A and B are shown apart, each in its own frame.
Chain A
Amino acid sequence: MATYIDIVTGFLESGKTTFIQNILNNGQVSDFNSIVLVICEEGFTDYDQELFVQKNIKSIILESPTELNDDLFKQIDAKFHPDYIIVEYNGTWDISRLLGLKMDPDYRYRNVFFISETGTFRNQLSNMVTLMHPHIQNSNVTVFNRHETVSPDILKKIVQDIKSINPKTKTVFAEAVAPTRALNPYFGKPDNQKNSPLNSLIKLNLFMLMLLCVSVILIFSDFNDYHYIQSITTIFLSILIQALPFILFGAFFSAIIQLFVSSNWIITQISKGTWTSFLIAVSAGFFLPICDCGLVPIVSGLLKKSTPLPQTITFWLASSAVSPIVFLSMLYAFPEQPYLAVIRVITGVVIGIVAGIILKLAHLETSAVIQDSRYFQTIGKDILDLKFEGTKGKIEAVFSGAKSEFFRVSKYVIIGALVSAILQTILPQTLMHLISSNPLLQFMIMVAAAIFMSTCSTSNAFIGKSFSNNFSTIPILAFVVMGPMLDLKNMLMLSGVLKKRFLIVLATLVILEGAVVFSTLAYFL
């Protein structure tokens, strides 16, 4: 029969002992005949000895982390033959040490409870994130005691803090008396636990549903399915492959910004006075001549450093307009109309600056639009679990930070690339049907194309050119300019840092500005 192990971790005085006594008292473990309590605490313990006798509970006290060795569970098994072990773990010890111990195949870790006192939690977290992060990360339930005196606002923030460190864990605010009923599901067999497997099942189903939708679309299109899928996968992979070097570059740059550049320095650079700061924000893009998919991690890195929102957004929107590579690509895509390259720069810069100024006038601050969880998404040396010190440690930090940025951003790029690969294969025909001489409709179609068909700021000029038989110059220009600003995969990447509501506002703002700018252009050209 399997032996289950529950770990209860947290700092001294957090209420671990009370929590464990409650579990032992409340019948949640009444199925077990032989219970062992492992206490990892240097100091005294105040367990109710009577309870131990009454429930036939054996206890072991470990006074230092060195006693956590591969023999531990062997010895426990030989001595007590337990069917349930509950560990009161020391919140200052490395939890992976316990989790990594050798054990009999019948022994199974079931739950990791992280216990904390509600009132002191946020303060402790900001001071000792290195210590606490792994414990929360490994937990499947976090329990907060004594929450009655804490305001609901703070409680909400605590839930967000926990979610940002470990989205899978469940946060429970427990009554002082007993572990609430909310915890009951965690005391079944691990295989029956409803929490995580159900979630992943739902996710898997969504995934299958998406695949089903895609196949339905493919079946109902009159074309040869296999060729269609082939075309979609080729376009999909090609977008990913060409984005890879840029994303890695962006991830490294972003890691360096987050680790070594003081936020004050950046903020003074781009907030020296309204006008100059916007100009600096615009020209910064000239010195970072990389694809827009590489710029998103950089922009996210800046926002996480709480740089002023208007200037950062201006930098982001204008960056592809002032990129020398994009300028060249415009010249080569439209060799017969070199003035289009110049107009592309000007319109891009204007949209970027105007958007920035509007945000400034609206007094929108970075803190208001950023995801609340951003603090623990920031790659700080304290979270990165580093091995080396000094220069070696710095290099390790950059690599480790870039790696987590890479994995974080890649998810969005994959989704975005998949959607645009599918649409790029299916949309051209649909677009052909919609073609109209109405300039407004043409503009709307190009906005849709900007969201779904934009590949990369460099190749947008050429994709735009391919529309030139059916669309007039101004809507095409709108596609080229607004492509990187509205691109779905960029938006998805940014949604990791910025609130979705704000992104919708920003996209609307860009589209409205685009409408004004390009209709003015149409009037003059």
Chain B
Amino acid sequence: MNRKINTDALIQLIILILTVVLLSYALITKKINAYVHPRYYLGLWLSIIILVFFALSLIPKIKKARHNVSISPYLIFIIPLAAALFFPSGEVISKDVTMIESSLSTTTSEQPIAENKPTTTDTIEEQSDSNEDASEKYEHYKVDDVVQINDDVFSAWFFDTYAHLDDFTGKRYLYLAQVFSMDDFKDNQFLAGRNFMVCCAADLAGYGIICESNLRNELVDQEWIMVTGTITSYQYNGHPVPMLTDVTIIKTEAPEVGYIYYKNY
């Protein structure tokens, strides 16, 4: 004996359950970091709770039999679910490679920073007190005369080096970086930088500091390195920008998710 059910509600239920399962999995395993900024954690957990409520409210409705249900409006939901299932976020590294083109265009945006930073330094909030040494707050990461910049402080430190170049000049820093190349660089130059995420993977943008090293030829684009160097001032397109000299490079494994999450607001 058969009984008709509400296919409409059933399809909605399946979509909701799959979404909840995939999202929770991504959040628990932190794979979500490849897609969105960690500040979305709370919002996404709340969304999951709401979706679960939606799903629960559908269960009694499945029994309400329906005739002539239109399935086609739900076909579109196959795309994101399939994309999430078949292209796991584990492949972030290769995604980075594909981002070369766009990150290249964005790494070059380092130029306008260079153009404007020096002249308008004092308009930048909290750093407007020009007497304070901006490099001071990174001093407690110092190990054997080298300040180790970890991912958490990287974005703040990076922007500070451009804004207060004088304070950083002559100091030695160590950080995890990726190799970016730029068209107008000399043969021994490259950009040691990272991809920054503001909201989600759609707005990834690469930023970095110029490095000069004889090992340049041994480095491949997007390769992960631990770079140590001393900051000096360098004239790039007529503007002073930070540059790492006396560079030591250690090739290293790619981290699981290699983005810097922009935290300033």
Residues of A within 8 A of B (CB): 7, 70, 96, 98-105, 107, 109, 112, 137-140, 166-169, 196, 199-200, 203-204, 207, 223-224, 226-231, 233-242, 244-246, 248, 252, 325, 328-329, 331-333, 335-338, 385, 387, 396, 399-400, 402-403, 406-407, 410-411, 414-415, 418, 420-421, 424-425, 428-429, 432, 455-456, 458-459, 462-463, 465-470
Contact = CB atoms under 8 A, between A and B. Distances in A.
Given A100-B4, A432-B105, A237 B47 contact: no
B65 A227 contact: no
Contacts of A333: 198
B44 A338 contact: no
Given A99-B66, A112-B68, A387-B60, A414 B76 contact: yes
A230 B108 contact: no
B105 A96 contact: no
Contacts of A462: 198-199, 203, 205, 262
Contact of B54 (A107, A245, A403): A403
A96 B98 contact: no
16 contacts: A7-B67, A96-B64, A99-B65, A105-B1, A230-B95, A238-B200, A239-B202, A241-B36, A241-B200, A242-B199, A244-B47, A414-B79, A424-B202, A459-B203, A462-B205, A469-B112
A415 B98 CA distance: 22
A466 B205 contact: yes
Interface string B141-169: 00000000000000000010001000000
Interface stretch (B116-124, B131-139, B245-253): B116-124
Contact of A235 (B32, B53, B113, B202): B202
Contacts of A424: 102, 202
A237 B83 contact: yes
B40 A241 contact: yes
A229 B87 contact: yes
Contact of A100 (B64, B77, B84): B64
Contacts of B124: 335-336
Contacts of B12: 403, 407
B106 interface: yes
Contacts, number: 230
Contacts of B71: 200
B200 A242 contact: yes
Nearest to A246: B43
B34 interface: yes
B112 A230 contact: no
Nearest to A211: B79
Contacts of B76: 411, 414-415
Which of A99, A109, A402, A458 counts the most chain B CB atoms within 10 A?
A99
A237 B203 CA distance: 13
B105 A470 contact: yes
A109 B112 CA distance: 69
B10 interface: no
Given A103-B3, A167-B70, A230 B200 contact: no
B77 A99 contact: no
B83 A100 contact: no
A100 B159 contact: no
A456 B199 CA distance: 8
B2 interface: yes
A415 B73 CA distance: 12
Interface string B88-114: 010110110111011001101101110
B80 interface: yes
B44 A100 contact: no
A242 B205 contact: no
Contacts of A467: 105
B3 A100 contact: yes
A99 B199 CA distance: 48
B68 A140 contact: yes
B57 interface: yes
Contact of B79 (A246, A335, A418): A418
A242 B200 CA distance: 7
Contact of A328 (B87, B119, B265): B265
A329 B23 contact: no
Contacts of A227: 94-95, 97-98
A456 B58 CA distance: 31
Given A100-B5, A105-B1, A400-B57, A329 B112 contact: no
A279 B40 CA distance: 32
Contact of B1 (A104, A228, A252, A455): A104
A403 to B, nearest CB: 5
A420 B203 CA distance: 12
B94 A230 contact: yes
A112 B67 contact: yes
Contacts of B205: 462, 465-466
A226 B94 CA distance: 9
B98 A223 contact: yes
Contacts of B159: 335
A139 B80 contact: no
Contacts of A406: 54
